[in-house]
Amino acid sequence: MKLTIKILNGLITTVLAITLLSMIFIVISSKAAGGEPSFFGYQIKTVLSGSMEPTFKTGSVIAVKPIEDAMNLKKSDVITYLKQDQSIVTHRIVEVIKNGDQVMYQTKGDNNKAVDTQPVLAQNVMGKYSNFTIPYLGYFIDFAKSNKGTALLLIIPGVLLLIYSAISILKALKELDKMNKNSGVEKAV
């Protein structure tokens, strides 16, 4: 029974510590990147609309690999690009348009009926979708980027870890006190 409790205590401590470190990583990398964090060379993007459903759902997080040469993409690649209004979009290439040295891509969201109104210049392509998606995590990351989210995601796991540590220390002190009392009784006898 004591071994089970000890293992459970260690597991809870580990989970709380990992949670705290994860929250710190997400918050700091989101703030440092000015938006979505990067992880192992991949940009992490939050899906804000349903234009690419069912490939990925609104609120999902996708991993996008930055590309060096955007001139060699092909039809059916899913790309992330910068529009003229400075918004970032992730859609599928439905046609590659080559005009001399210039390459453009006609794109379309999988859930959209029509193609996008303007072709994407190769130099505006930021990256290519890496086929890695985590549903609904984007809502969490957007919350983490807010001031309240930053505070809560750093403070709550830290406070929980401190409370749990205090409880563990108090239990250990009671156990030591109990052992001292027992050893005092044996000496008196």
Would you please indicate which residues are annotated as catalytic (active-site) residues? 49
From CA 43, how far away is CA 30, in angstroms rounded? 11
| DSSP category for residue 124 | G
Cα distance between the two ends of the chain: 30
> Cα-flanking dihedrals φ and ψ of residue 97, to 5°?
-110, 115
> Cα-flanking dihedrals φ and ψ of residue 39, to 5°?
-145, 120
Nearest Cα to 83, choosing from 114, 118, 45? 118
| DSSP category for residue 119 | P
Contact in structure between 89 and 67 (CB atoms under 8 Å): no
From CA 46, how far away is CA 60, in angstroms rounded? 6
From CA 145, how far away is CA 168, in angstroms rounded? 33
From CA 27, how far away is CA 37, in angstroms rounded? 9
